[in-house]
Structure 1
Amino acid sequence: MGNNEEKLNRGFGLSASLALVVGTIIGSGIFFKQGSVLASAGSTTSAMMAWIAGGILTLASGISVAEIGSQMDQTGGIYIYIEKIYGKIWGFLAGWMQVIFYGPAMMSSIAAYFGILFVDLFGLSKTFAIPAAIIGLSFVGIINSVPNRFSAGFQILTTTIKMLPIIALIIFGLFFGQHDAIGQTVSGITGGQGGFGVAILATLFAYDGWVTLANISGEIKNPQKVLPKAIVFGILIVIVAYVGVSFGVYQSLSANNIVKFGQNTTLYMATNAFGVIGGRLLSVAVLISLLGTLNGKVVSFPRVLFAMANDGLFPFAQQFSKINMRSRTPNKAIWFMISLGILMIIFTNPDRLTDIAIFTTFLFYILVFIGVFKLRKQDPLGERRGFSMPLYPWLPLLAIGGSLYVEISEILHDLSGVAISIVIVAIGYPVYKFLSRRTDNN
């Protein structure tokens, strides 16, 4: 590995790391996915169980990754974990998937939601949605091109702001909701065919983001201790928030109306609860929330590209492994991935990409969860572990089982998307062979 990682600034303490986990997970999903989760689940009871199941799966997954992360403090996250456990080719394919597809797809999807909500809030033509999305993503890129204390501070600020409407929606639903839709079945619409597995898959977009902290281990103060705490407590906070908001929505609207309003469900609820001004304030808070989530993605995913380039395992590695000496951030890696995200915003359907991206990344998550057992076997006394999970081996087994359940569900309902994701990962193999030969020759 190159020595450029030593030039990174360890500017993320526990507060900023916790804010990164919570702020990256809580973005658009909890506000925009209520309708789609309910439509797939078929009833509010099943939908609530899907949110809880998605949270438990995420928590088991996060705790498993936290144990591995406490043993490996290099920048790169899953790319590093899989490389060290299974070898360079598998590590490269995991990194390739995140850099070429998963990371940009998530950036583009969140930015696209930002653009849609922005033009709706200000009554602009829908033709401005894409430019607004690009401007929002570029703004976050600029914040990440300066010393990381600014991106860390921005994450804490946006996370604090985004919790306010969540708390308000929970309180309103608990004390003032009048519909009590718990137990209602969706009727009179086309929906419910996706099933419980697809409903869980929809929640996983809302829960996505817990792994981003692992990608920036080289910029976390005392990562062996801070990373596990931030991941575990961050996911717990999000589960409480998501289940609380879902309960509030089900208390305030009927099941059919939730599906009918779709992405506008929480906006409609907030407008009913707090008037037009309340609805607008929620929209502003969601816009800020989306910028915070984007910030987490832009902080995180370019570090995977940086780590791969630092190992000489990416085209133009010498450029992407460079650190800006003034900001001590990998700016070329950041702007390359932002550019990919912008292209996806312009030429693709980002919402479709996220479903495919969730499938591909869970393939590699499963390898990481299996890696917990391999590392335990190599180090039975835990001398290298900064964090040892409770309930071993049940939590990694739950993470593996839940992930397989979701993957099988996706295969049954979206075989074309699965095929696309496999092709994208497979393209990385000849790229790796070419790059590794060139590295060996040098």
Structure 2
Amino acid sequence: MEKPMEKNLKKQLGLFDAMTIVIGMVIGSGVFFKPAIVFRNAGSPTLGILAWVIGGIIAIASGLTVSEIAAAIPKTGGVFIYLKELYGERWAFLFGWVQTLVYGPGSLAALAIVLATQITSFIPLTSAQQKLLAIAFLIFVMTLNIISTKLGSKIQGIVTVAKLMPIIVIILLGFTKGTVEAVNYTSSKSITIAGFGAAILGTLWAYDGWIAVGNMAGELKDPRKDLPKSIILGLSITIVVYVLINFALIKIIPMESVINSNKPASDAAIALFGESGAKFISAGILISIFGALNGYMMTGVRVPFAMAQEKALPFSGYFGKVSNLGTPRNAFIFEVLLACLYVLSGSFDTLTDLIMFVLWIFYTMTVAGIFILRSKFKHIERSYKVPLYPIIPLIGIIGSLYIIISTLFSNPFYAIYGTVITLLGLPVYYYLIKKR
């Protein structure tokens, strides 16, 4: 099918831009808050660190696998396009349906609210003021990205480097000036398989977000080479950062303090710098969340845009239009309008939680799609192939299935409701097919 509008998207993003999208979206607020949950469930420093390593191995296995798919199908839309090519249009539509109407704008709303809430560390704000500020953040970030994709990517690069600075400071000072004389890596109160599994699950959530860089494939200068490199290098840097920051935390403050804290990174900064340390970390969290908001904004709108390009959305002519600035302006406006409504309604957390179960099914299908790609699409040119095939893909699939099964048992009603929301898209899909 001819897609005349997509050719107007400017190919102006390089490897560094793509890497900062990966790192900026993965390293959000989780690096500052997740250590407590992971160590608490793991039961010992050794198993806590090991959980971060295993979570990283699963993430990089998925990344190595999806990199081959991304290099073989380097089109704007990421998972939507991969599912369409590998499983058919129906599966792709259902993913795009929940991504466009629920997860994309819901995530934007959640990040904007967290960002506005974090501002209260510096300026007192009422609940209503926080909502208005969140909407202002959404409109501001949208405007920057509508003006220029390159501008949005430059901001992402600056913010990603800036967000790593407080983390690097804590890591360096933790290893050089940590006050905990000796960490007993073998001690534990109670170690269980279920607890260690919950710790790994916590790290897997912290590694989430990297797959969205594929949404930008149509705007990368050399997607066949840069997509795999950005995913692999970006995730590798993230794994190193996560493991080192957790090592540093238990050297700065005792593990019991980490476990019992709601904000272990802030407590570590206070131990290093005094009360000013809390402000230092609060600023780092602000920058980190802003980077995640920009990354989700930049990548998320490419899904409805790609769907419109494939005539898989109502009003495709509107959503698939490229502005004179070379950006999908209408898709931006639609997604941000929904996000603002979610902010005002306060429903964003519930909505995004409801469809996480379904989204992980789609992510697992994407990783498993490597087997379809290898068997049915042998003619597609490959600039990259996943190493140790099929072992690496299987590791990624097992990790993804673990998240699905854990969610099914821990939140069965969310899983059911999320599935219902997804299936509500089928009448729309069949209507579009009939209309075509």
TM-score band, normalised by the shorter chain? over 0.9
Q: Does 1:254 align with 2:254?
A: yes
Deviation per CA, 1:6-54: give whole Å up to 9, x if none.
0101121111111111112111111122223334444443332322222
- Aligned counterparts of 1:301 and 1:147: Cα–Cα separation in 2: 16
Does the aligned pair in 1 maintain the 2:355–2:419 contact within 8 Å?
no
Unaligned runs of 5+ in 2: none
Deviation at 1:355, TM superposition (A): 4.6
Amino acid in the other structure paired with 2:67: A
Match of 1:336 among 331, 334, 341: 334
SS of residue paired to 2:72: coil
Aligned to 1:151: 152
CA distance 1:202–1:348, change in 2 (3 Å): farther
Deviation at 1:67, TM superposition (A): 0.2
Does the aligned pair in 2 maintain the 1:76–1:303 contact within 8 Å?
yes
CA distance 1:425–1:186, change in 2 (3 Å): farther
SS of residue paired to 1:261: coil
- Aligned counterparts of 1:109 and 1:186: Cα–Cα separation in 2: 35
- Aligned counterparts of 2:353 and 2:175: Cα–Cα separation in 1: 32
CA distance 1:431–1:42, change in 2 (3 Å): farther
Q: Does 1:295 align with 2:270?
A: no
CA distance 1:44–1:31, change in 2 (3 Å): same
- Aligned counterparts of 1:38 and 1:147: Cα–Cα separation in 2: 42
SS of residue paired to 2:146: coil
Moved more, 202-211 or 8-17: 202-211
Size of the aligned set, in residue pairs, is: 433
Aligned to 1:54: 55
Unaligned runs of 5+ in 1: none
Aligned to 1:275: 274
Deviation at 1:212, TM superposition (A): 1.3
CA distance 1:49–1:214, change in 2 (3 Å): same
Deviation at 1:140, TM superposition (A): 1.2
Deviation at 1:181, TM superposition (A): 6.6
Q: Does 1:435 align with 2:427?
A: no
Match of 2:418 among 415, 421, 426: 421
Amino acid in the other structure paired with 2:397: I
Match of 2:405 among 386, 394, 408: 408
Does the aligned pair in 2 maintain the 1:28–1:110 contact within 8 Å?
no
Q: Give the 5 Å matches for 1:27-176.
A: 27-125=28-126, 127-176=128-177
Deviation at 1:359, TM superposition (A): 2.6
- Aligned counterparts of 1:419 and 1:56: Cα–Cα separation in 2: 30
Deviation per CA, 1:131-168: give whole Å up to 9, x if none.
33322222211111111110111011101111111111
Aligned to 2:315: 316
Does the aligned pair in 2 maintain the 1:181–1:255 contact within 8 Å?
no
SS of residue paired to 1:120: coil
Deviation per CA, 1:279-305: give whole Å up to 9, x if none.
323222221221111111111011010
Does the aligned pair in 1 maintain the 2:266–2:277 contact within 8 Å?
no
Aligned to 1:241: 241
Moved more, 143-152 or 201-210: 201-210
Amino acid in the other structure paired with 1:329: T
- Aligned counterparts of 2:57 and 2:354: Cα–Cα separation in 1: 21
- Aligned counterparts of 1:333 and 1:186: Cα–Cα separation in 2: 52
Moved more, 340-349 or 168-177: 340-349
Identity %: 36
Deviation at 1:366, TM superposition (A): 1.4
Aligned to 1:397: 394
Deviation at 1:244, TM superposition (A): 1.0
CA distance 1:358–1:182, change in 2 (3 Å): farther
Q: Give the 5 Å matches for 1:152-231.
A: 152-179=153-180, 180=183, 182-183=185-186, 185=188, 195-231=195-231
- Aligned counterparts of 2:53 and 2:145: Cα–Cα separation in 1: 33
Q: Please identify runs of 4+ aligned residues in structure 1 that moved more than 4 A.
A: 181-187, 349-357
- Aligned counterparts of 2:200 and 2:405: Cα–Cα separation in 1: 12
SS of residue paired to 1:112: helix
- Aligned counterparts of 1:195 and 1:164: Cα–Cα separation in 2: 32
Deviation per CA, 1:98-122: give whole Å up to 9, x if none.
2122222322232222122111233
Does the aligned pair in 2 maintain the 1:40–1:199 contact within 8 Å?
yes
CA distance 1:134–1:196, change in 2 (3 Å): farther
Amino acid in the other structure paired with 1:303: R
- Aligned counterparts of 2:252 and 2:132: Cα–Cα separation in 1: 34
Does the aligned pair in 2 maintain the 1:42–1:195 contact within 8 Å?
yes
Does the aligned pair in 2 maintain the 1:41–1:195 contact within 8 Å?
yes
Deviation at 1:337, TM superposition (A): 1.4
CA distance 1:353–1:55, change in 2 (3 Å): farther
Deviation at 1:240, TM superposition (A): 0.4
SS of residue paired to 2:311: coil
Deviation per CA, 1:194-220: give whole Å up to 9, x if none.
733443333233212211110111110
Deviation at 1:78, TM superposition (A): 0.7
- CA RMSD between the two structures: 2.3
Q: TM-score normalised to the size of structure 2? A: 0.92
Does the aligned pair in 2 maintain the 1:117–1:287 contact within 8 Å?
yes
Does the aligned pair in 2 maintain the 1:181–1:254 contact within 8 Å?
no
- Aligned counterparts of 1:91 and 1:348: Cα–Cα separation in 2: 28
Deviation per CA, 1:410-439: give whole Å up to 9, x if none.
21111112112211211111111112211x
CA distance 1:203–1:218, change in 2 (3 Å): same
